[in-house]
Amino acid sequence: MIKRNEICLDLSACGTEFNKKNIKDYVNNLCKLIRMQKHGKLILWEDSHNKIKELRGGISAVQFIKTSSIVLHSFETNKSCFVDIFSCKKFDFSKVKKFSKDFFKAKRIKSRKIE
């Protein structure tokens, strides 16, 4: 039986600038922390022309890992970030939550985990 492990993070009031370098550093360090092997290159997309002001300037990222994926969406205009880590391999939810909050200097974080 395949078991899924997933955590969804909602980080707000972040003190870190959302740019491609920071997001790449976050994903690389996160993969090391939870011992996930990256599969392929990080896919980054910046939405600089969205008609919806709150979505403009946001950067999204997808990193496939050997056991599934890491997906991130950031919103510079309101200093928030959403991260979803899904894997069939177990990982430490509390380490992910603390690392993410510290990395993005978030004042608030909500999380939902599925095991």
Q: What is the DSSP string of 88-115?
A: SS---HHHHHHHHHHHTTEEEEEEEEE-
- Work out the percent of the chain whose per-residue pLDDT is above 70: 90
**Amino acid type, 98:** K
Confidence bin at 114 (pLDDT 50/70/90): confident
For the chain, which domains are there? 5-114 (3.60.90.10)
User: Do you know the residue count of the chain?
Assistant: 115
* Residue 105: count of CB within 10 angstroms of its CB: 13
Residue 50 has pLDDT above 60, yes or no: yes
pLDDT tens for each residue of 54-104: 666 689 999 999 999 999 999 888 899 999 999 999 999 999 999 999 999
Cβ(71)–Cβ(84) below 8 Å: yes
Average pLDDT, the chain: 92
pLDDT tens for each residue of 62-71: 999 999 999 9
